[in-house]
Amino acid sequence: MSSILPPTVKLLINGEFVDSQTDQWREVINPATQQVLARVPFATTTEVDAAVASAQEAFKNWRSTPISSRARVFLRYQQLIREHLKELATLLSADQGKTLADAEGDVLRGLEVVEHAASIGNLQLGELAHQVAGGVDTYTLRQPLGVCAGITPFNFPAMIPLWMFPMAIATGNSFVLKPSEQDPLVTMRLAELAMQAGIPPGVLNVIHGGAEVVNALCDHPAIKAVSFVGSTAVGTHVYQRATQAGKRAQCMLGAKNHAVVMPDANREQTLNSLIGAVFGAAGQRCMALSVLILVGEASQWLPELVDKARKLKVNAGCEPDTDLGPLVSRDARTRVERLIAQGLAEGAELLLDGRNPAVSGYESGNFVGPSIFAGVTPQMSIYREEIFGPVLCVMQADSLEQAMAIINANPYGNGTAIFTSSGASARRFKELIEVGQVGINVPIPVPAAMFSFSGSRGSRLGDLGPYGKQVILFYTQTKTVTERWFDEDDQSGAVNTTITL
Ligand code: NAD
């Protein structure tokens, strides 16, 4: 009896989508059904080298391609992404598990960065100081670095690759992308559309794999910069390895994001915002609110929050009206269930237990429903570890100062939010909180494309963030030119051995 193998995910090398010659493969699995959607290769060293070599070769022309031509590629690309939005979201939902609405959001947030890349003409301007000395001007050129690499996580397989290669390529670099091996399908479709938009062969390459491929990218002498988004453990390793090899690196890492609710907040708006930000995408967002600090009388709102969470609909992402889809893998589900058990064992009170929800028609899906712990302390493992699932840890504080002290003592600094109707409280919070992205009555304050993602402390390594203005600095080298011109017949100069212009 012959069996039909699922399709293979291709590598993109030098403008061609090619089959890998590797003997190491992994299955890409629909997390709601366990259906094998495809097989993804772990690229060989030869294939990694070929991708980098093609990027090196393509850089020679791309670096001097006029800025307006580079911008036009991204104008076409944004149009293609818009035209294929539904198709991309459907693929993403099947591959990753999130709801169709959330999958569209994943694509649309990435699209904003593509639109930003299309305005590269304004963004990559240098500076000029006229007359820094008699007849002398100084100006800067912002030149591309060469071959850059990006390594992305599973949870935003559209948005995060789109944070990286459009800005790197728009600034004149060539790129090698290594998507998550867990859900590469939508990323590959985006790569196809990018080529259709007119990115020349070799300027964008995509290879697949795990630790070995990532290490090869960190070590490769031709790669000048590495952009990473993923967990703290892996990102710390990538940062150290890439910088040790003399590269620029920016690594956006794990998180534990706290929400503070003041008793003067708008109750209904706050509770609804919290539900979306805690449980949306099954908690698999680096900006998910995973800790809630209720200040003073706000603690009385907890039963209502639990009621709202209990009503959320757990189902496959493709089903209408689903609020939470499955976790990305069996391993992720087992890990989240283990942490819930550990929370109970360490003495936290499980007000809502989302383990083993009944999901009719999808009995083998990796589902965990909304779960809420009260009485959580900073020593518990459910507080110290990033759970990355639909699990909320609730704490209480007597004052805003006490709430801020808890947050500032936590090692992570990705995002935080305060809910209040007091301008004074909000101002104190934004001034004193040691977290890089702050929401004021906004639960998930991911900055729009003209700003940069600005997580801080344990949630980031490297001083420049992805996309926005900061990434222009990351993907370019500043060259400073100081120049003076003489009239042909001006013979008035004298030898000058002092350090002056
Ligand atoms: P991950 O760290 O497991 O994987 C990220 C990438 O690293 C993948 O491409 C993977 O193939 C590669 N990788 C995995 N193990 C490796 C190893 N040992 N050596 C070298 N490379 C390795 O992360 P994930 O599970 O895919 O994503 C979830 C994590 O990403 C969470 O911690 C989340 O907070 C974080 N994240 C952070 C941000 C942010 O902006 N701060 C955004 C999204 C996700």
The reply to whether ligand 1 has any atom less than 6 angstroms from the CB of 163 is no
Q: How far apart are CA 159 and CA 43, in angstroms?
A: 23
pLDDT in tens, 5-52: 889 999 999 999 999 999 999 999 999 999 999 999 999 999 999 999
Beta pairing class for 289-295 and 25-29:
unpaired
Atom of ligand 1 nearest to the CA of 230: 30
- Judge contact between 280 and 317, C-beta under 8 A: no
Query: What pLDDT score does 2 carry?
Result: 47
The reply to whether ligand 1 has any atom less than 6 angstroms from the CB of 140 is no
The reply to whether ligand 1 has any atom less than 6 angstroms from the CB of 252 is yes
Please give the distance, rounded to the nearest whole angstrom, from the Cα atom of residue 317 to the centre of ligand 1: 22
Return the residue whose CA atom lies nearest to atom 22 of ligand 1. Answer: 211
Q: Which helix (H) or strand (E) holds 407?
A: helix 400-409
pLDDT in tens, 395-454: 999 999 999 999 999 999 999 999 999 999 999 999 999 999 999 999 999 999 999 999
Beta carbons within 8 Å of 301's beta carbon, 6+ residues apart: 261, 267, 270, 271, 294
Return the residue whose CA atom lies nearest to atom 43 of ligand 1. Answer: 286
Residues with active-site annotation: 286
For each of the domains in the chain, give its residue range(s) and CATH number, in order of start: 11-254+455-481 (3.40.605.10), 258-411+415-440 (3.40.309.10)
The reply to whether ligand 1 has any atom less than 6 angstroms from the CB of 412 is no
Q: Longest Cα pair distance anywhere in the chain, in angstroms?
A: 93
Amino acid letter, 307 = D
> Is the per-residue pLDDT at 219 higher than 50?
yes
**Burial of residue 383, with CB atoms counted within 10 A of its CB: 0-12 exposed, 13-18 middle, 19 or more buried:** buried
Query: What pLDDT score does 3 carry?
Result: 63
The reply to whether ligand 1 has any atom less than 6 angstroms from the CB of 151 is yes
Amino acid letter, 110 = G
- This complex has an ipTM of 0.99
pTM for this entry:
0.97
DSSP count for the chain of H helices, then E strands = 16, 22
pLDDT in tens, 65-74: 999 999 999 9
Q: Which of 42, 152, 229 to mutate to test the pocket of ligand 1 (most atoms within 8 A of CB)?
A: 229
Please give the distance, rounded to the nearest whole angstrom, from the Cα atom of residue 454 to the centre of ligand 1: 17
Helix, strand or coil, per DSSP, at residue 18 = strand
